[in-house]
Amino acid sequence: MESAVRYFNRELSLLEFHDRVLVQALDEQVPLLERLRFLCISSTNLDEFFEVRVGALKQKMEANLAVAGPDGLSPQQTMERISERAHQLVAKQYEVFNKVLLPLLEQQQIRIVKRSQWTGAQKSWLKHYFENEVLPVLSPI
């Protein structure tokens, strides 16, 4: 399929976009909290990618629609490449968070407190906040 080399795989191309968003978290010219925001966007985008794009691919595979797309990849081949690339992307997210952003946040006196380190007062405040501010606007999907 010679024409397949002319096309990018939609799903794999989208993963590369998510990587470019994550790269913004490494840009030292971007303010620190914005860098953290880019990391969060990257993570949220990846979650949605699996819900929507990978979900659709799984449905094609379950329905035995193993027809190759314009890029020449079957749904199974696409899933294999997604798995490999997504694992790389998640590893990069963890590295950016733990080795780059957390130490920079600490330098600015910004700490992310682990649940196991919450005080009773923090737990109580969070429970009250959730029950009064978050729960009333939650909609099950």
* Exposure string over 49-83, b if 16+ CB within 10 A, otherwise e: beeebbeebeebeeeeeeeebebebebeebbeebe
Is pLDDT at 30 greater than 90 in this prediction?
yes
Query: What is the reported pTM?
Result: 0.79
pLDDT for position 1: 47
pLDDT for position 26: 97
Distance CA 81, CA 11 (A): 9
Residue-wise pLDDT for 47-85, tens only, equals: 999 998 888 888 877 877 667 776 777 788 888 999 999
Is pLDDT at 2 greater than 70 in this prediction?
no
